[in-house]
Amino acid sequence: MELSKQSSRKLVAAGVATTVIALGLAAWFAAAPSAESQVPVKLPVSASASASSPASATKAAPAAAPHRTAEIKDPVPPAEPKATRTKEQGAAALMALPELQAWSALIEKNSGGKAHGGLLEYDPVPRKLNGKSYWQFSYVENSAESALRWESFLVSSSDDEILVEDATNDEVISLARWRREKHPSKRTAIDN
């Protein structure tokens, strides 16, 4: 029984030692400069060696820098553009669209002022799409009884891009394509 305890202790000690060595090597490789950043050191050729001596026939080899094998790195994802537009600025830009302004006026007129057009944030977490973050809003017809969604939009937090979620085709399309294909300026109700 005593022999078994000693064997277990030795195995644990060996495991700990192996882990410490592996971590030390990992730290050393992480801290060591990469092969690309190392400048080879050249030793000066001795001027005193005569041209006829056999020693001059063999040049002094440059000091070899420690060679590290190329590290395999995970591909770096494209850097996300820095947020330059707040959620509130994105909502304001969206409400400034002529289509949404026209819809709001139409909703107020048709309801006699009992319903209003507005935005609902349908997900507070920005949506990532093609390396960019987008605020997620739906334009709704808001009344005392309900809020009916007319359209959903993605507003970029890094530039002035606005995308439209096309629920019919289950895709995200540009504002220009939405205007060209869906004709939102002619829309007069929720189901148009």
Q: Where are the domains of the chain?
A: 2-57, 87-186
Instruction: Put the strands of the sheet holding 147-156 in their side by side order.
Output: 116-129, 132-142, 147-156, 162-166, 171-174
Average pLDDT over residues 145-165: 95
pLDDT given at position 65: 53
Say how far apart CA 87 and CA 110 lie, in whole Å: 30
Question: Residue 3: enclosing H or E segment and its boundaries?
Answer: helix 2-31
Question: Residue 89: enclosing H or E segment and its boundaries?
Answer: helix 87-95
| Model confidence band, residue 57 (pLDDT cutoffs 50, 70, 90) | very low
Average pLDDT over residues 142-158: 94
pLDDT given at position 129: 94
pLDDT given at position 189: 80
More confident site: 53 or 30 = 30
Instruction: Enter the pTM of the model.
Output: 0.56
More confident site: 67 or 53 = 67
Cα angle at 111 between 149 and 103, to 5 degrees? 50
Question: Residue 172: enclosing H or E segment and its boundaries?
Answer: strand 171-174
pLDDT given at position 76: 57
Say how far apart CA 139 and CA 100 lie, in whole Å: 8
Task: Please check whether residue 148 is in contact with residue 160, taking contact to mean a CB–CB distance below 8 angstroms.
Answer: no
pLDDT given at position 188: 83
Say how far apart CA 55 and CA 137 lie, in whole Å: 80
Instruction: Inform me whether the pLDDT recorded for 61 exceeds 80.
Output: no
Say how far apart CA 39 and CA 92 lie, in whole Å: 54
83 secondary structure, DSSP code: P
Q: Smallest Cα–Cα separation from 153: which of 175, 173, 138?
A: 138
Task: Please check whether residue 141 is in contact with residue 107, taking contact to mean a CB–CB distance below 8 angstroms.
Answer: yes
pLDDT given at position 187: 86
pLDDT given at position 38: 47
